Structure 1
């Protein structure tokens, strides 16, 4: 079964997600511009074993965003153990390179502040190894930002299957109808779409026409893209409208009547100003119920 089968692709736009509950991020190429480092590590590894280095287009279409087991099978279909060892050594080279320099995607910290200011839940969801994921998040200073980190190897199936994103929704206890994803690769976008979550794709390293094949909600260049902030502004406005229409909730034992929001707000003020003791509270509630 492919990721597209049994897909529950969301047709929601970002503003329609209000009130937003959570934001999910891929890591490689989404939080940081790590793909050039992966390519450098690949080049060094291929040179060491005397193999021709695949071109960037091949890597983009066949390697980027995939789980290491799948990459090993693509590069060494006749010798999987050799492929797995190759990937393990390549990951070690990548970590050395990333430890020296790991640039964040432009505008990342502006976006993380927006998310923190609104108290949203957040998770990193990646096909990278756990070691790589932890290193990149640490180098970016985001250890305290994420509520949890989901890696593909800890799921039944990695991306492009929806399992990692479905696991994130389950653990965060949020709805796909009030969550969206940031992704930069074809497998990653397919995974989010198959999980029924709107996906914002980043054209960090891959052409728009390639990413559009996976049906993202829309594409952005980076986190300073005006298109993204226009949608987030609409989302804030939509949230205010949704909240304004929701009735205030009161404990049943207080006996507040069902009434318009404006009347409820007046009752709250009266309660705060007049009720000082348990006896006074009971008297006030009794009067309110009998009006």
Structure 2
């Protein structure tokens, strides 16, 4: 477990997007469930939320495709995910809201002149839409997309790219993540990580290396750490 930086050392905060800025997993789950039924996955038996959490949540689409459709060719896989992401985007404005306390934390970050980036496995079009829907388009200086790096999360490349961009060492930053895949990426980059328990079990986040857990951005444990 990487120790949390002191307020005097802190220079940057790096956010995941899905499940961290907004509670998007329920919409991803419903979208995957319906589309997988349409293509006859599991003989048409709907996937469960547990299946989604274990096999899909936080993972890059290429890795999801290799797990779900090992016999599909690349073009068929790409069309499925393109259609899935388009359906997700069409429903997002009616479903997605900021995580409680998000804007309070962002104001605190801005008031201290900290650098800030979004680091995500979501496709760029999805990430920019979600960031816009929670009102943070002008907040982020940088949006790092997993598929635009050499390797996506759970590899550390996306977080390393953000740190390199800011020219800030890992011990002077922290990440906020809600998935084990994202946590492994951040820890692999040498970052302290707040595990936000939006949907995934806290114990799994701790086992993946979370420095500590928070329920949302109003959590007293977060503010105690920031103000220490």
Please give the TM-score of this superposition, normalised by the length of structure 2.
Answer: 0.94
After TM superposition, the structure 1 stretch with the greater mean CA deviation from structure 2, 49-58 or 153-162, is 49-58
After TM superposition, the structure 1 stretch with the greater mean CA deviation from structure 2, 90-99 or 181-190, is 90-99
Q: Of the candidates 187, 191, 195, which is equivalent to residue 185 of structure 2? A: 191
Q: Of the candidates 19, 35, 51, which is equivalent to residue 29 of structure 1? A: 19
Check the 8 A contact 1:21/1:175 in 2, yes or no.
no
The question of 1:71 aligning with 2:64 is answered yes
After TM superposition, the structure 1 stretch with the greater mean CA deviation from structure 2, 159-168 or 56-65, is 56-65
Structure 2 partner of 1:12: 3
Check the 8 A contact 1:18/1:178 in 2, yes or no.
no
Check the 8 A contact 1:73/1:80 in 2, yes or no.
no
Greater Rg over alpha carbons, structure: 1
* Offset of residue 49 of structure 1: 2.2
Structure scoring higher RCO (CA < 8 A, sep ≥ 6) equals 2
Structure 1 partner of 2:50: 57
Unaligned 5+ segments in structure 2 are none
* Offset of residue 57 of structure 1: 1.3
Aligned residue pairs: how many? 224
Distance in 1, Cα, partners of 2:73 & 2:152: 18
Q: CA 1:115 to 1:23, structure 2 compared with 1: closer, same or farther past 3 Å? A: same
Check the 8 A contact 1:22/1:120 in 2, yes or no.
yes
* Offset of residue 18 of structure 1: 2.9
Check the 8 A contact 1:202/1:221 in 2, yes or no.
yes
Please give the TM-score of this superposition, normalised by the length of structure 1.
Answer: 0.74
Distance in 2, Cα, partners of 1:230 & 1:90: 40
The question of 1:111 aligning with 2:105 is answered yes
* Offset of residue 223 of structure 1: 0.4
C-alpha RMSD over aligned residues: 1.3
Structure 1 partner of 2:124: 130
Unaligned 5+ segments in structure 1 are 1-9, 235-291
3-state SS of paired residue (2:47): coil
* Offset of residue 41 of structure 1: 0.8
